[in-house]
Amino acid sequence: MGGLWVGVMLLLLFAATQFSVLWTIVSMGKWAEKSKEDQVSVWSLALIISFGILVFLLCLVRALANFYFSLRASQKLHDRMTWAVLRAKIVFFDTNPLGRILNRFSADVGINDDVLPQSLHDVAFSVFLVLGGVATAVTVLPFTLLAVPFLFIIFAWVRKIFLTTSRELKRLEGTTRSTIFEMLSESLSGIATIRSNNSQEYFRHKFELAHDAHTRAFFAFIGAMRWMGFRMDCIVFILLTIASFLAVLFHDQGWFNVDPAVLGLALTLLLQLASAFQWSIRVSAELVTNMVSVERVSAFGDLPSEAALVTEEDINDKAWPTEGQIKVNSVTVRYRPSLPPSLSGVSFKIKSGQKVGVVGRTGSGKSTMIQALFRILEVEEGGIEVDDVDISMLGLHKIRTEMAVIPQFPILFSGCSVRDNLDPFGEYNDDAIKRALSDVQMIESIKDLPHD
């Protein structure tokens, strides 16, 4: 809801700025028509200067507000995605390759931070420029209004065709470009093989074909731009012709009194419209492409998360666990609903202080049991009790901080010291860390490591 208000506020700001620009130009036109004495009067000059200052201030506020709010929105999306990914279920990491996750956090967030604020600004700016031009022409010569809906229909039609085509051509251009890069790096790394087989000619030909494919796509894209540009120019020149002829006709016949200063402004704005129209279409096409990044970051922000980190039960059971007795009652666990269960109807009991070894062939479910114990996987049926407390009632923080596991595949955080790896939250003093290292006979090995 906050976003809606910010959007409305930004639109109003853009509208106000465009209006003040037009108003300033009209006032300057009127000022130019005044007598010499009136032109240099303090009052006239002060009015013009204050209009100039107003336009400057509004442009500044408009740009600052646009960039501030777009960056804030991007930051919010990023934070929501970070939290959602950190809290995501294990299924998410099983089904999403690391490259995809990294891409969202780098390329997509990059586009939201760097490219999108500028894109939004350009779109709003060009749309108001076009609207301002058309509105001025219509105000000066209300009769041009007859032509405007017709021209807008053509505009919307051209825009629709161009957007669909340019999006596909841009995609094609991107894919054919990556073929060139792939071929280049592959040929360079395999240069010895290519030369020893005397296949330079063959690879040169393949490389040229890749270039041709890219040039074809790129040329088609430029062609599409020209196609759109020509039609936009036609629309604007038709409007310009109608406005000019009607102005002369109406003024001549005395049907409508046209102020020459305002008419001049309207014609200048209409001339500008030719490029503004093209620009608005191009930036709106870019905006649509860039908005895909917002969609992708938002999609990761809505990931289903694991169970609550803290529950009422944790507070009631402050001392849990005291004995370390584990009871597993007909537990069934599945990695994903579409997969067969990895554990089905498993029951056993481990008494407090007992040391138990679980033996089984690979894939029999030993690690899965540990994952169920830490609720990395939630049990589908049955339950696990530790010291007679059903662990499904506890918060995940409580379970995962009160129990410890040494996993099959150890993980070291790179770029961190041994100390940070052992005690990431800085909860223990050096003596405790050293004692732990000496207990596992690692104290001698780490002495040779560089200290920071």
Of Mg ion, ligand ATP, none, which one does residue 365 interact with (CB within 5 to 8 Å by kind)?
ligand ATP
Chosen from ligand ATP, Mg ion, none, partner binding at 20 (C-beta under 5 to 8 Å by type): none
For the record, the structure tokens of 97 come out as 């390759």
> Which strands make up the sheet holding 326-333, listed edge to edge?
343-350, 326-333, 381-386, 389-390
Cα 452 to Cα 417, 419, 422, distances in angstroms:
8, 11, 16
DSSP state of 319: T
Nearest residue to 287 (alpha-carbon basis) of 94, 109, 121, 84:
121
Q: Judge contact between 226 and 256, C-beta under 8 A.
A: no
C-beta closer to Mg ion: residue 311 or 367: 367
Minimum distance, C-beta of residue 361 to ligand ATP, in the bound complex (Å)? 7
Number of H helices, E strands in the chain: 17, 4
CB 355, min distance to ligand ATP, A: 19
* Distance in angstroms (rounded) separating the CA atoms of residues 111 and 103: 11
> Among the candidate windows 130-138, 190-198, 372-380, 407-415, which touches Mg ion by CB under 5 A?
407-415
DSSP secondary structure string for all residues of 222-276: HHHHHHHHHHHHHHHHHHHHHHHHHHHHHHHHTSS---HHHHHHHHHHHHHHHHH
Q: Which of 6, 89, 96, 376 is nearest to 105 (CA)?
A: 96
Q: At what angle do helices 2-33 and 42-86 cross, to 10 degrees?
A: 160
| Binding to Mg ion, residues 84-123 (CB under 5 A) | none
Smaller CB separation from Mg ion, 196 or 408? 408
Contact 335, 341 (CB under 8 A): no
Residue nearest to Mg ion (CB): 367
Show the DSSP H helices in 87-147 as ranges.
90-95, 98-103, 109-110, 116-140
- Choice between 11 and 339, CB closer to ligand ATP: 339
In the complex, least distance from residue 348 CB atom to ligand ATP, rounded to whole angstroms? 15
Fill in the per-residue mask, 312 to 351: x = in contact with Mg ion (CB under 5 A), - = not in contact.
----------------------------------------
Give 92 or 335: the residue with its C-beta nearer to ligand ATP: 335
CA–CA dist 48, 54 (Å, integer): 10
Judge contact between 413 and 424, C-beta under 8 A: yes
Among the listed residues 272, 311, 344, 367, the single contact to Mg ion using CB under 5 A: 367
Q: What minimum distance in Å lies between the beta carbon of 380 and ligand ATP?
A: 13
Min. distance of Cβ 342 from ligand ATP in angstroms? 3
CB nearer to ligand ATP: pick between 25 and 346: 346
Indicate which of ligand ATP, Mg ion, none lies near residue 450 (CB less than 5 to 8 Å, by partner kind).
Answer: none
Considering CB distances under 5 to 8 angstroms, the limit depending on partner class, which of ligand ATP, Mg ion, none binds residue 362?
Answer: ligand ATP
Kindly indicate which of the ranges 62-70, 156-164, 212-220, 367-375 contains the residues binding Mg ion, using the contact rule CB under 5 A. Answer: 367-375
Which residue number, 176 or 342, has a Cβ lying nearer to ligand ATP? 342
> In the complex, what is the shortest distance from the CB of residue 336 to ligand ATP, in angstroms, rounded to a whole number?
6
Task: Give which of Mg ion, ligand ATP, none residue 132 binds (C-beta under 5 to 8 Å, depending on kind).
Answer: none
Q: How far is the CB of 201 from ligand ATP (least distance, A)?
A: 49
Contact positions vs ligand ATP (CB under 6 A):
94, 335, 339, 342, 360, 362-368, 408
Peptide bond into 321 cis (omega under 30): yes
Work out what residue 364 binds among ligand ATP, Mg ion, none; the CB cut-off runs from 5 to 8 Å by kind: ligand ATP
Shortest reach from residue 408's CB to Mg ion, in Å:
5
Considering only the stretches 221-229, 350-358, 386-394, 406-414, report the one whose residues sit in contact with Mg ion under the rule CB under 5 A: 406-414
The count of chain residues that interact with Mg ion, using the rule CB under 5 A, is: 2
Judged by CB under 5 A, which stretch of 172-180, 204-212, 349-357, 405-413 contacts Mg ion? 405-413
User: b vs e for 51-86, b when ≥16 Cβ sit within 10 Å of the residue's Cβ?
Assistant: beebbeebeeebeeebeebbeebbeebbebbeebbe
Cα–Cα nearest to 233, from 274, 193, 199: 274
Would you count residue 370 as binding Mg ion (CB under 5 A)?
no
Q: What is the DSSP string of 149-207?
A: HHHHHHHHHHHHHHHHHHHHHHHHHHHHHHHHHHHHHHHHHTHHHHHHTT-HHHHHHHH
Cβ nearer to Mg ion, comparing 1 with 359: 359
Q: Which parts of this chain interact with Mg ion (CB under 5 A)?
A: 367, 408
